[in-house]
């Protein structure tokens, strides 16, 4: 189509001008214009070929392309279609929207594939406990909570990934952050994280030695500070 239009314009210009110099100038400008118009479609086709051969992601993978996160719904010659994750919320539930990403933009976008090798990614949940809490007991309760929730999920966990939750501790103003990290299913991260948080809360509430921290003020009166009446 574009070639036919280009030839037709060249013939018209030559018919009116009769000059080979003007014809060459116009032909050059028209060729540049057509090349510019075709640059994105051509880039899109090239990107599609790269996707087919290199396979940075496949249908069903959870990816983030540029600033858009979603599950790959379809890959066509011109666009990648994602079932958007988040977008309308701060979580990772499906928004119900389908995002069409032009293939031509893939060369300039960072592509993150959450499920490139397997379905699992590392996640973490933080529980802040008071300084008066038994820290060893807190770590034990939190690890047990993770294992209880993830036990069934970890049956499909690759052998190369650890089934033991890792604990990190950070001092805060009102307590100690107990950060537990564990492998979870990428597409179920939000739900499983909520289940882990709920289980941790229940166990800490039932414990006599561990308390959840929150901002509060403690007033300590010494004998010399107590007024005499």
Q: Would you state the pLDDT for residue 31?
A: 59
Q: Would you state the pLDDT for residue 138?
A: 98
137 and 193 co-located in one domain: yes
Rounded Cα distance between 153 and 133, Å, is: 31
Range of the structural domain that residue 75 is part of: 62-113
Tokens of 162: 């650890």
The dihedral through the CA atoms of 20, 33, 7, 15 has a sign that is negative
Q: Please list, in sequence order, all residues whose beta carbon lies within 8 angstroms of the beta carbon of residue 13, skipping any fewer than 6 positions away.
A: 22, 23, 26, 27
101 and 133 co-located in one domain: no
Rounded Cα distance between 108 and 39, Å, is: 14
Q: Would you state the pLDDT for residue 21?
A: 54
Could you read off the pLDDT of 171-225 as tens digits, one per residue?
999 899 999 999 999 999 999 999 999 999 999 999 999 999 987 777 777 766 6
Name the domain count of the chain.
Answer: 3
Residue with the bigger pLDDT between 228 and 41: it is: 41
Lowest mean pLDDT among 16-20, 135-139, 163-167, 179-183: 16-20
179 and 129 co-located in one domain: yes
40 and 16 co-located in one domain: yes
In terms of residues, how long is the chain?
A: 229
Residue 224 maps to a domain: no
Rounded Cα distance between 80 and 32, Å, is: 28
194 and 131 co-located in one domain: yes
| CATH code of residue 183 | 3.30.70.100
126 and 106 co-located in one domain: no
Could you read off the pLDDT of 6-64 as tens digits, one per residue?
555 555 544 555 454 554 555 565 555 555 555 677 777 777 888 888 899 999 999 99
Q: Would you state the pLDDT for residue 20?
A: 46
Angle at 167 between CA 198 and CA 197, to 5 degrees: 10
Q: Would you state the pLDDT for residue 23?
A: 47
168 and 124 co-located in one domain: yes
8 and 79 co-located in one domain: no
Q: Would you state the pLDDT for residue 199?
A: 98
Q: Are 94 and 85 in contact (CB under 8 A)?
A: yes
91-120 burial, b at 16+ Cβ within 10 Å, e below that, comes to ebeebeeebebebbbbeeeeeebbbeeebb
Q: Please list, in sequence order, all residues whose beta carbon lies within 8 angstroms of the beta carbon of residue 145, skipping any fewer than 6 positions away.
A: 196, 199, 200, 203
Residue with the bigger pLDDT between 168 and 43: it is: 168
97 and 134 co-located in one domain: no
Tokens of 212: 């959840």
Rounded Cα distance between 43 and 61, Å, is: 23
| CATH code of residue 69 | 2.30.30
What order do you get walking across the sheet with 176-185 strand by strand?
120-129, 176-185, 166-171
157 and 130 co-located in one domain: yes
Mean pLDDT for 84-93 is 89
50 and 69 co-located in one domain: no
């Amino acid at each position: 189509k574009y070639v036919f239009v280009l030839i037709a314009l060249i013939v018209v210009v030559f018919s009116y001008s009769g000059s080979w110099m003007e014809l060459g100038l116009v032909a050059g400008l028209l060729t540049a214009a057509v090349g510019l118009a075709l640059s994105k479609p051509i880039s899109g086709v090239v990107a599609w070929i790269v996707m087919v051969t290199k396979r940075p992601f496949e249908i069903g993978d959870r990816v983030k392309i540029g600033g858009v996160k979603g599950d790959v719904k379809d890959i066509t010659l011109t666009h990648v279609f994602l079932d958007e994750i988040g977008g309308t919320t701060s979580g990772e539930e499906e928004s119900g929207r389908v995002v069409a990403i032009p293939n031509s933009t893939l060369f300039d976008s960072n592509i993150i594939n959450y499920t490139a090798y397997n379905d699992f990614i590392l996640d973490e949940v933080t529980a802040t406990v008071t300084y008066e809490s038994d820290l060893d007991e807190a770590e034990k309760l939190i690890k047990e909570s993770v294992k209880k929730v993830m036990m069934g999920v970890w049956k499909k966990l690759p052998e190369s990934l650890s089934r033991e939750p890792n604990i990190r501790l950070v001092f805060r103003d009102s307590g100690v952050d107990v950060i537990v990290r564990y492998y979870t299913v990428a597409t179920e991260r939000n739900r499983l994280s909520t289940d882990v948080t709920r289980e941790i809360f229940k166990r800490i509430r039932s414990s006599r030695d561990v308390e959840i921290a929150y901002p509060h003020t403690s007033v300590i009166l010494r004998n010399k500070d107590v007024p005499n009446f």
